[in-house]
Amino acid sequence: MVLEKWIYKHIEESLYNYAKLKESKLDTEKKLAAAIEETLEYFKGSDQEKMMREYYFKAKKQSDKYSKGTFHNKVCYDVLFIDPSSGYVIRREIVLRVALSAATKGVYRFGKK
């Protein structure tokens, strides 16, 4: 599945702001938070789950110490013990899975316009 750039960026920002998203009262944001929770459950026990918890959910707290790229490298080397290029593949898998789950909830529409 190929995502439009704005959808990819929207999902990544939602992952970075997951803590705030969970507390939202807006219907769309509730659905997106549920999609992220489903994705966490889907990837339970995998490197993808670790990436979600250690990178996306902690990146905002680390922004005063590290840039996103440097923090990505740190998580890849120190937590996942993988090359950063493999980390980008994992991040893409996460975003695609969230997009799929969000689409089933009606957050995004794919296909013909």
Give tens-digit pLDDT for 23-71: 999 999 999 999 999 999 999 999 999 999 999 999 888 888 888 899 9
> What is the average pLDDT score of the chain?
93
* pTM, to two decimals: 0.91
DSSP letters of 48-79?
A: HHHHIIIIITTHHHHTTT--HHHHHHHHIIII
Please report which confidence band the pLDDT of residue 109 belongs to, taking 50, 70 and 90 as the band edges. confident
Amino acid, single-letter form, for residue 49: E
Q: In residues, how long is the chain?
A: 113
The confidence band for 1, taking pLDDT boundaries of 50, 70 and 90, is: low
Tokens in use for 48?
């993808």
Task: Take residue 104 and report the two structure tokens written for it.
Answer: 């089933």
Domain boundaries, the chain: 5-104
Average pLDDT over residues 8-26: 95
pLDDT over 70 at 113, yes or no:
no
Token code pair at residue 76 = 């890849």
Give CA–CA dist 56/52, Å, rounded. 5
Query: Alpha-carbon distance 96 to 30, whole Å?
Result: 18
